[in-house]
């Protein structure tokens, strides 16, 4: 069992980067990161170097924000608002394949646990599953509606693979989640979470919100979705950060979790492998990392990050978290659990 204690999480390193770091992937077994940026570039950086120096990839790349990054063997794949997926050689830092993947903004990409298939979602309201080694399109996932109930264009923000690789989840602006069989591209279930969607019919006649993040539990039985709760002023992210957790096969909502202290979008989620907690991160003008108990749904711990966190990755031991944000990258470490008899409150038992 891991000795990582999320109640003792602290920011241990924080360094500035140019622009907005929007997406991140980590080289397994290392502290090296690849991150996509608002300056249309992909970077590599050693996050724990004494003086981290991001190195940009070269050649013809994206023509807009780089909103997704994933490792695929000897390549790193990026997706952007230009609708392109680009495969880059990790050694030369040059592109080896470019695919016109979507007709509108790519919001996020994800790689399967075995690294064999890649998924992308975009504002053309399509999910797509690709062969990660060849770039061949395997399946197109059509389910999410192009327009909101108020006749405005919708958006498809979130995508996640289950740890066993059998399932893929996609989530959109109005709180609709579809779950797909990755072996054949067929939809197997759907969930509705309208608490993530706000429509202002009076002042601005506009909507905001949506499912901004998705994650499966270690046993692939639960799915968590993150975003923001109902918003009073849609010109600002002044709604409570919000997480809902479902037993997706039973279509049973287990928890609705909101936080009024650290408000804004929940951009990334991850489950503890041992079933004790879930971690959520995001922000408004500033950022946060928040842990909830999977036994009770109660808040375990919160840590402030000085900028809106757009994505994070955990290391293999789940005792270090790398967060990319507005103008910075932060490293947060979990202290070891206190020995028996110490003053720190015990963590909940693993969820059955």
pLDDT at 83 over 70: yes
Q: In this structure, are residues 211 and 172 in contact, taking their beta carbons and an 8 Å threshold? A: yes
Tell me the Cα Rg of the chain. 19
Give the per-residue pLDDT at 340: 42
Mean per-residue pLDDT of the chain: 92
Give the per-residue pLDDT at 210: 92
pLDDT at 170 over 50: yes
Average pLDDT of the residues in 277-306: 95
Place of tokens 């797509």: 128
Average pLDDT of the residues in 174-202: 93
Look up the pTM and report it. Answer: 0.93
Q: How far is CA 224 from CA 136, 137, 251, 277, in A?
A: 29, 27, 12, 12
Give the per-residue pLDDT at 3: 57
pLDDT in tens, 95-106: 999 999 999 999
Which region among 53-57, 143-147, 166-170, 237-241 has the lowest average model confidence (pLDDT)? 237-241
Average pLDDT of the residues in 316-335: 95
Q: In this structure, are residues 223 and 214 in contact, taking their beta carbons and an 8 Å threshold? A: yes
CATH class held by domain 4-336 = mainly beta
pLDDT in tens, 116-154: 999 999 999 999 999 999 999 999 999 999 999 888 899
């Amino acid at each position: 069992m891991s000795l990582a204690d999320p109640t003792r999480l602290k920011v241990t390193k924080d360094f500035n980067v140019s622009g907005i770091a929007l997406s991140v992937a980590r080289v397994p077994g290392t502290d090296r990161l690849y991150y996509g940026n608002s300056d249309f570039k992909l970077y590599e950086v050693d996050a724990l170097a004494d003086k981290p120096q991001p190195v940009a990839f070269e050649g013809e790349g994206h023509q807009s924000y780089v909103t997704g990054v994933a490792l695929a063997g000897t390549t790193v794949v990026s997706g952007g608002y230009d609708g392109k997926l680009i495969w880059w050689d990790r050694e030369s830092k040059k592109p080896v394949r470019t695919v016109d993947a979507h007709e509108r903004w790519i919001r996020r990409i994800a790689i399967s646990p075995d690294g064999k298939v890649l998924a992308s979602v975009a504002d053309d309201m399509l999910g797509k599953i690709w062969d990660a080694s060849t770039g061949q399109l395997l399946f197109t996932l059509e389910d999410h509606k192009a327009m909101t109930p108020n006749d405005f264009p919708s958006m498809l923000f979130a995508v996640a693979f289950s740890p066993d690789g059998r399932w893929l989840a996609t989530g959109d602006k109005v709180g609709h989640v579809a779950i797909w069989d990755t072996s054949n591209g067929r939809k197997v279930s759907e969930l509705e979470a309208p608490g993530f969607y706000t429509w202002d019919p009076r002042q601005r006649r506009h909507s905001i919100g949506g499912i901004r993040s998705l994650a499966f539990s270690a046993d692939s039985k639960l799915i968590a979705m993150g975003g923001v709760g109902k918003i009073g002023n849609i010109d600002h992210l002044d709604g409570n950060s919000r997480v809902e957790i479902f037993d997706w096969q039973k279509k049973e909502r287990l928890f609705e979790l909101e936080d009024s202290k650290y408000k804004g979008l929940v951009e990334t989620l991850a489950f503890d492998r041992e079933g004790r907690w879930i971690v959520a991160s995001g922000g408004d003008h500033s950022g946060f990392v928040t842990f909830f108990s999977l036994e009770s749904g109660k808040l375990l711990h919160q840590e402030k990050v000085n900028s809106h966190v757009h994505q994070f990755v955990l290391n293999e031991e789940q005792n270090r978290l790398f967060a990319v944000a507005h103008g910075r990258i932060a490293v947060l470490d979990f202290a070891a659990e206190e020995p028996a008899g110490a003053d720190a409150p015990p963590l909940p038992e693993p969820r059955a």
